[in-house]
Amino acid sequence: MARKQEVINMIDTFSEFKENKNIDRTTLISILEEAFRNVISRMFGSDEKYDIIINPDKGDFEIWRNREVVPDDKLTDPNAQISLSEAQKIDKDYEVGEEITDEVNFAGFGRRAILNLRQALASKILELQKDNVYTKYKDRIGQIVSAEVYQVWKKEVLLLDDEENELILPKNEQIPGDFFRKNEARRAVVVKVDNQNNNPKILLSRTSPLFMQRLFELEVPEIHDGLITIKRIARIPGERAKVAVESYDDRIDPVGACVGMKGARIHGIVRELCNENIDVINYTTNIALFIQRALSPAKISSIKIHEEDKKAEVYLRPEEVSLAIGKSGLNIKLASMLTEYTIDVFRDVDIDGEDIYLDEFSDEIEMWIIDSLKNIGCYTAKNVLALSKEEIMEKADLEESTVDELLSVLKTEFEEE
C-alpha cells in the first residue's frame, strides 16, 4: 500500500510540474505511459498485453493485463496466458480461448521498479523541458526579452524569465554603465541560442544595434506600424549612437517622430541605454548628403566622394574640424560606421580670400538651388565652377537655363574681383 501511494504521489508531483513548465496534458500522459511501458518491458520482455490508463490531473493510474485462457498443461507464457484453473478462481464461467483482463498492482513490482520509473520520468521530462526552451527561444532571436537578475558574476549575468528558464548576458554584451541588482528586471535582445548535447544556452545582448532598434520600435508607434523605417544604426555602447531613419509618408517627419515632443520618446531609450547619446538623422541615398548629415553638428565646406573604394574627403573650416571629429573621435567614427565610408577630414585653408561659400549668394541665387548644389558636394563657388554645365545639370537635376544663370552669377563675381 505504501508503494502504491508513493507512485500516486510521484504522478501528482509531475502533474504539478506540468503546470509550472507548460507541458500540455496530452504530452504528459504520453511521457507517463511510455515510462510505465519501458519498466514493464524490462520486467516481462514485452508490454504488448498491457493497457495503461493515466489521469495526471488526479494523480492516479491503472494498469490492466490481457491474457488468454489456456489449458493448465498448455501454459507457456504467464505474461500473455493464464491457466484455466487460475481463471476459474476469478470467475468459474471462464473457458479455454477466452480473454481475461485483470488489474495489475504496480506497487507489487517492487521498489526498484518504482525508482526506475521515477528516474525515467525525471529524465524524459527534463529532456522535453530543454527541447521546449530551445524551440521557444530559437524563434525569438532578435526580439527583446525581460528577465529577472538572478546571479551576477565577473564574466556574465544569469537571468531567469517568467518560467525560470536561464538566460545568459555575457560581460562583452553589457553596456559599460550597466549595474545589476539581484531580483531586478532587465531588458535585452536574444542574439544566439545554442543547443549542444540538448543543453540549450540562450545568450542576450544590450550592446547590439538590434537592441536599440527594438527599443525604438517599442517607443515610436510609427516605426512599429511601418510608417518609419530605421535604415542604419551605428553604436559605441554607453557613449554615443547615430540612427538613420526614413519615412514613407511625406506628412511624417521621421526625426521628429523618433525624438518625440520635448524628447519624450527618445529619453526612455536613452535611460535604458545608460544615458547613451543618440543622434537621429534623415536617411538619404545621396552619399554626399548622407555623410554631411552623419557628421552633424559640423558644417562641411566641400566633399569629394571616391565610390570605387568607398572613401570620402571632407573639407571644413578650421573651427568646424573639432566638431566633425568629436570628443575622442566618436563623431567621425560613428559617421564612418553609419555611412560605411572611410571619412578623411581636411582643413579648408584656401576658402578665405580665394573662394566664396554659396550661402553668400543667397540674394542672387534661390536657396533651393544652393541646397541642390550642396547635395552633390558643392559648397563653394569654385566647387561649382570646377564642374561642366552638363555635370551640374545631371548631378543636381537642374534645367539648362537655371545652370546658365547660376554660372553667370558665379563667374561675374570672380571677374569683378
**Which of 2.40.50.100, 2.40.50.140, 3.40.50.300, 3.40.50.720 is the CATH number of 147-205?**
2.40.50.140
Task: Give the domain ranges of the chain.
Answer: 2-135, 147-205, 208-283, 351-416
What's the DSSP call for residue 357? B
Please determine whether the domains at 147-205 and 208-283 fall in the same fold group of CATH. Answer: no
* pLDDT (tens place) for every residue of the chain, 417 residues total: 444 555 555 555 455 554 545 567 777 778 778 888 888 887 777 788 888 887 766 667 788 888 888 898 888 888 788 888 888 888 888 888 888 888 877 776 777 777 777 777 777 777 887 888 888 899 899 999 999 999 999 999 999 998 889 999 999 999 998 999 999 999 999 999 998 877 899 999 999 999 999 999 999 999 999 999 999 999 999 999 999 999 988 899 999 999 999 899 999 999 999 999 999 999 999 999 999 999 999 988 888 889 889 999 898 887 888 899 888 889 999 999 999 999 998 876 554 456 777 878 888 889 899 888 877 778 788 888 888 889 889 888 899 999 999 998 888 877 655
> If DSSP codes are grouped into helix, strand and coil, which group holds residue 190?
strand
Which architecture, in CATH terms, is 351-416?
Answer: Orthogonal Bundle (1.10)
Report whether 316 contacts 346 (CB < 8 A).
yes
Query: CATH says 208-283 is which class?
Result: alpha beta
How far, in Å, are 9, 18, 53, 398 from residue 30 at the CA level? 18, 13, 11, 75
Q: Left, alpha or beta for 342 (phi > 0: left; psi -120 to 50: alpha)?
A: beta
Architecture of domain 2-135: 2-Layer Sandwich (3.30)
Q: What is the pTM (predicted TM-score) of this model?
A: 0.67
Is there a contact between 277 and 267 (Cβ–Cβ < 8 Å)?
no
Q: Give the whole-angstrom CA distance, residue 243 versus residue 270.
A: 13
Answer yes or no: are the C-beta atoms of 65 and 50 closer than 8 Å: yes
